[in-house]
Structure 1
Amino acid sequence: MSFHRSKGLEADYTILLDISEGDYGVPSRIEDDELLNLVIPRPESFAYAEERRLFYVALTRASRGTFILCNKRKPSRYIRELCDIAGDDVRFETIDGKELNQCPSCLVGEVVERKGRNDTIFYGCNQFPDCHHTQRENPSLAIVV
């Protein structure tokens, strides 16, 4: 169901589809009709305020957990904000449930193997050029004590 229709309902888990940037993403980039501006009492103090409220409604319908599916090259700005707020309570996975190596810099990218000059191997964020995080060691081989 849509974000609007889920208002007031609750489920154990919810799945939010295509929470990505773009014209039809979250937040939507389609401009409001100018007629709407005539009936809104005062302009919003920040961009996409109504979209942000709607996303919050969809996000909070779950009592146990929420799965957010997004385009990994263009995740919604709201996912980055969630990572800033929730920290370790947010986990990135593949569609098969395998945990991804989350980028510690941008929080929404994945640290993947890359080839540098002279065929050297390094690990960098898949959000490049938006994120420039790199590291020498393989993040999946990190030892946790």
Structure 2
Amino acid sequence: MEVSGLSFHRAKGLEADYTILLDVSEGDYGVPSRIEDDEPLNLVMPRPETFEYAEERRLFYVALTRASRGVFLLTNSREPSRYVGELSEIAGDNLRFETIDGAALRQCPTCRAGHLVQRIGPANRRFLGCSQFPTCDHAEPVK
């Protein structure tokens, strides 16, 4: 078995059985990166992009499609990339959230980027709430 570590750029044109995308989270060095483009580069670009993070989105798609059998996304559960929510909408039941140990996590049905965690509310009542709270306030009773 061969394991290679490649950037999204270097993965173009290649294929693997499985790919693992690391740190698919929001942030300066996340996906998409919040580091501003170089202004001189913007001057030589043929026309400005109208879609937010268009180049980053294309590179992410390239990285996703390098796998012939499966893709694993490792993300910070507190700040997953906006693309995780978008993929959730598209993939539906073909997307599975799990812990680093492989235990299944129940996906939030409202935001689709978070997962449900047990919380304790007023009067010590237990409920399931979204891991993305306060951004997503989905809650439901524990069954």
TM range (shorter): over 0.9
CA distance in 2, matches of 1:22, 1:64: 29
Runs (5+) with no aligned partner, structure 1: 139-145
When normalised by structure 2's length, the TM-score is 0.94
CA distance in 2, matches of 1:95, 1:121: 25
Query: Which of 87, 106, 119 is 2:92 aligned to?
Result: 87
Instruction: Read off the aligned partner of 2:57 and give its amino acid letter.
Output: R
Do structure 1's residue 26 and structure 2's residue 51 form an aligned pair? no
Runs (5+) with no aligned partner, structure 2: 1-5
The structural deviation recorded for 1:89 is 0.7
Instruction: Read off the aligned partner of 2:107 and give its amino acid letter.
Output: Q
Q: Which runs of 4+ in 1 moved over 6 A?
A: none
Instruction: Give secondary structure in 2 for the equivalent of 1:24.
Output: coil
Q: 2:19, 2:70 within 8 Å by CA — same for their partners in 1?
A: yes
When normalised by structure 1's length, the TM-score is 0.93
Percent sequence identity over matched residues?
Answer: 70
CA distance in 2, matches of 1:86, 1:122: 27
CA distance in 1, matches of 2:61, 2:23: 15
- What RMSD in Å do the two structures reach over aligned CA positions? 0.7
The structural deviation recorded for 1:125 is 0.8
The structural deviation recorded for 1:120 is 1.3
The alignment of Structure 1 onto Structure 2 pairs a total of residues equal to 138
The structural deviation recorded for 1:137 is 2.5
Do structure 1's residue 124 and structure 2's residue 129 form an aligned pair? yes
CA distance in 2, matches of 1:5, 1:13: 16
